[in-house]
Structure 1
Amino acid sequence: MRELIKALAKYEFASATALLHDYGLAIDQEIDEANEAIHIVEDMIKGTTEEEDISLKRSEAAKYLGVTTDALRNWELNGLLSLKRSENGYRIYAADDLKRLKIIRILRSSKYSLEAILRLLHSIDHQEEHDVRTILNNPEPSEDIISVCDMLILSLEKAKMNTAELAKCINNLKKVAAKRFV
């Protein structure tokens, strides 16, 4: 957007239009990724396949999931996961923990906030009816201001609509500039 504004300031309307188009494509990609994450999570929640009996330490779990140990630690500190410990005090990641971590990883990579993910996991833990899209994108009014702003897909769709309005503005500026410099 910064580059788009710079292009407009220089009356480079073709460049501004191209930048706006690229911005719209990026928004579309984020919407697709957010929706794909929802579908993956829905499939994981519905999954009836038995997981193998597995028990991993933090570093092994991080490698298995393709995330850092710091990410696992952060998710645990933020209440997304509660782990059992072995006799020697090591955290043990079992099959259910890994499934939960896969859900967290997928949603975080699609830019869902920790608060939105926590809402979903709370719903799963309490075996409530799961409408993943609604849970992730509709914070309760009583929630913290950060989570009230957590409406990823809605925000992206509004940004997409704003690109259409911005395209009209660019066209109007182009007409005004053409009249002014003739």
Structure 2
Amino acid sequence: MKTSEIAKLSKVHPNTVRLYEEWQFISPVPRKPNGYRVYSELHLKQMEISRLAFRQEFIQNNLRKKATEIVRLSGREQFKDSLRAAESYLTYLQTEYEFALKAIETVKNLLQNKSITGQTYSHKSVASMLQLTEETIRNWERNHLYTVKRNAQNRRIYTERDIQKLLVIRTLRSAHFSITSIAHLFQEMKQSKKNTDILEILQTPTFSSDFFHVTDDLMNQLKIAMDDLKSIIAILTELQ
């Protein structure tokens, strides 16, 4: 195949094909005596892997790195390693999807004013429950996204309400809300409410509407990304 042909089949610009070769997203491309590149079916499959991997870039954290790792391993023809990376990425996205579902259920329960227990949790256990680093949660506290009580030993003690608010923050961060925008959003709620409890924030019509819109959009994009990864896994399984 010529550059123009593989570009058309891959639904990208010919320059993109050349860039992917330069970046080693596809295997080295042999050339004819006249210098024209000659692409194979393998290159076409690698182009498809690249296109699928980079199509959905919507969540923060290091997802670009995860997608790039899959593509680069494929370009080196390390298909088993690329497959493992793709499966790991899929597991991560499935976890994000489950947390988004949990956040929606939590918000619904809060809006229905369902009772909670008086159980408390340590900083370490909360980080584990939410699958976040302890430093991430501390950073949110430093940026005034939430406050938490401390015991006599000055250790953070989290209530179920605290965890519910952290889950909401986690979901907004996954949906690409910046820390600054979340802090500003919460601050606006505080200015109109004496009680700064998470329930008071969620009961604000604007926030409630926005939250469900954001989570719905996030989940739709996660579904698309997971389907794309399943397609990548199928291609890599065939290439092994």
TM range, smaller chain: 0.5 to 0.7
Deviations 1:45-92 (A, max 9, x none): 514111111211210111122211111111111110111110111111
Hey, what does 1:93 align to over in structure 2?
158
Hey, what does 1:158 align to over in structure 2?
none
Tell whether the 8 Å contact from 1:124 to 1:130 is kept in structure 2 after alignment.
no
SS at match of 1:80: coil
Residue of 69, 79, 85 corresponding to 2:134: 69
2:139 aligned with 1:102, yes or no?
no
Which consecutive residues of structure 1, in runs of 5 or more, have no partner in the other structure?
1-9, 137-152, 154-182
Q: In the alignment, residue 113 of structure 1 is paired with which amino acid? A: S
Q: In the alignment, residue 11 of structure 2 is paired with which amino acid? A: A
Tell whether the 8 Å contact from 1:55 to 1:93 is kept in structure 2 after alignment.
yes
2:163 aligned with 1:114, yes or no?
no
Tell whether the 8 Å contact from 1:51 to 1:95 is kept in structure 2 after alignment.
yes
- State how far apart, in whole Å, the 2-side matches of 1:133 and 1:116 are: 16
Tell whether the 8 Å contact from 1:123 to 1:130 is kept in structure 2 after alignment.
no
Q: Which runs of 4+ in 1 moved over 4 A?
A: 17-25, 133-136
TM-score after normalising by structure 2: 0.41
Deviations 1:123-153 (A, max 9, x none): 45434733237767xxxxxxxxxxxxxxxx7
Q: In the alignment, residue 91 of structure 1 is paired with which amino acid? A: R
- State how far apart, in whole Å, the 1-side matches of 2:159 and 2:166 are: 10
Tell whether the 8 Å contact from 1:83 to 1:92 is kept in structure 2 after alignment.
yes
Hey, what does 2:8 align to over in structure 1?
13
Q: Cα distance 1:63–1:42, how it changes in 2: closer, same or farther (>3 A)? A: closer
Which consecutive residues of structure 2, in runs of 5 or more, have no partner in the other structure?
13-46, 60-96, 194-199, 212-216, 218-240
Q: CA RMSD in A?
A: 3.6
- State how far apart, in whole Å, the 1-side matches of 2:108 and 2:184 are: 18
